[in-house]
Amino acid sequence: MKKYTSILIAFMIIFGLNACDERFEEINTNPNGISDVDPAHLFATAARNQFRSGVAGFDYKIASQMAHFYVGVFVERFIDQYQQDLSGESYEDLYNTVYLNLIKYYNEIMTLTGPGMEKEHPMQYAVADVMAVLSYAKLTDAFGDIPYFNGGLGNVGELSPEYDSQRDIYFDMIDRLAADIETLKQADGTVGLIGQDPIYGDDPDLWIRFANSLRFRLAMRIRHVEPGLAAETITECLSEPLLTSNAHNAVQLGIDGDNAQLFSPWYGPYSYYNFRISDKVVTQLSSTNDPRLSIYASQMSNGTYKGFVNGLVEEAFGDSINLEHSYPGEYLVGRGANTYLMTAAEIAFLQAECALYGLGGSDENSHFRNGIELTLRRVGVSEEDITTFMATETATLSGTQDEQFEQICTQMWLAFAPNVSEAYSMMRRTGYPTIPIRDGIVLDPGDTEGELPSRLVYPLSEKLRNGENVQQAIDNLDGGDELKSRVWWDVRR
CATH of the domain at 239: 1.25.40.390
CB 28 within 8 A of CB 43: no
- In the chain, the N- to C-terminal Cα span, in Å, equals 94
Residue 214 to residue 156: CA distance in whole angstroms: 29
Q: Is the CB of residue 151 less than 8 Å from the CB of residue 99?
A: yes
- Please name the residues in contact with 449: beta carbons below 8 A apart, sequence gap of 6 or more: 437, 484
- Specify the length of the chain in residues: 493
Prediction pTM value: 0.91
CA atoms within 13 A on the CB side of 187: 24
Integer Cα distance of 397 and 388 in angstroms: 16
**The pLDDT value given to residue 151:** 85
Kindly state whether residue 18 falls inside one of the protein's structural domains. Answer: no
Angle formed at CA 82 by CA 310 and CA 94, multiple of 5 degrees: 105
Residue 156 pLDDT: 54
Peptide bond before residue 31 is cis, with ω within 30 degrees of 0:
no
> For residue 364, is it within any domain?
yes
The whole-angstrom separation of Cα 464 and Cα 59 is: 25
Distances (CA, A) of 169 to 173, 269, 449: 6, 31, 29
pLDDT tens digits in sequence order for the chain, 493 residues long: 433 344 333 434 343 434 444 433 333 334 444 456 889 999 999 999 999 876 767 998 999 999 999 999 888 899 999 999 877 778 888 888 899 899 999 999 999 999 999 899 999 999 999 999 999 999 999 999 999 999 877 555 567 899 999 999 999 999 999 999 999 999 865 556 778 899 999 999 999 999 999 999 999 999 999 999 999 999 999 999 999 999 999 999 999 888 888 899 999 888 888 899 999 999 999 999 999 999 999 999 999 999 999 999 999 999 999 999 999 999 999 999 999 999 999 999 999 999 999 999 999 999 999 999 999 999 999 999 999 999 999 999 999 999 999 999 999 999 999 999 999 999 999 999 999 999 999 999 999 999 999 999 999 989 998 999 999 999 999 999 999 999 999 987 6
> Residue 315 burial (CB < 10 Å; 0-12/13-18/19+)?
exposed
The verdict on residue 150 lying in a domain is yes
Backbone angles phi, psi at 339, to 5 degrees: -120, 135
Contact 71, 310 (CB under 8 A): yes
**DSSP state letters, 372-432:** HHHHHHHHT--HHHHHHHHTSGGGS--SSHHHHHHHHHHHHHHHHTT-HHHHHHHHHHH--
Q: How far is CA 471 from CA 44, 142, 405, 462, 467, in A?
A: 36, 17, 38, 10, 6
pLDDT at position 334: 95
Is 163 among the domain residues?
Answer: yes
In a domain, 265, yes or no: no
Is 13 domain-assigned? no
8 A C-beta contact, residue 190 and residue 35: no
The half-sphere exposure of 88 on its side-chain side, counting CA atoms within 13 A, is 14
Its domain, for residue 440, covers 39-246+334-475
Report the relative pairing of strands 70-71 and 339-342 from DSSP bridges: unpaired
Q: How far out from the chain centre does Cα 88 lie?
A: 20
Q: Are 354 and 360 in contact (CB under 8 A)?
A: yes
Number of domains in the chain: 1
The pLDDT, as a whole number, for residue 157 is 53
Residue 222: inside a domain: yes
| 69, part of any domain | yes
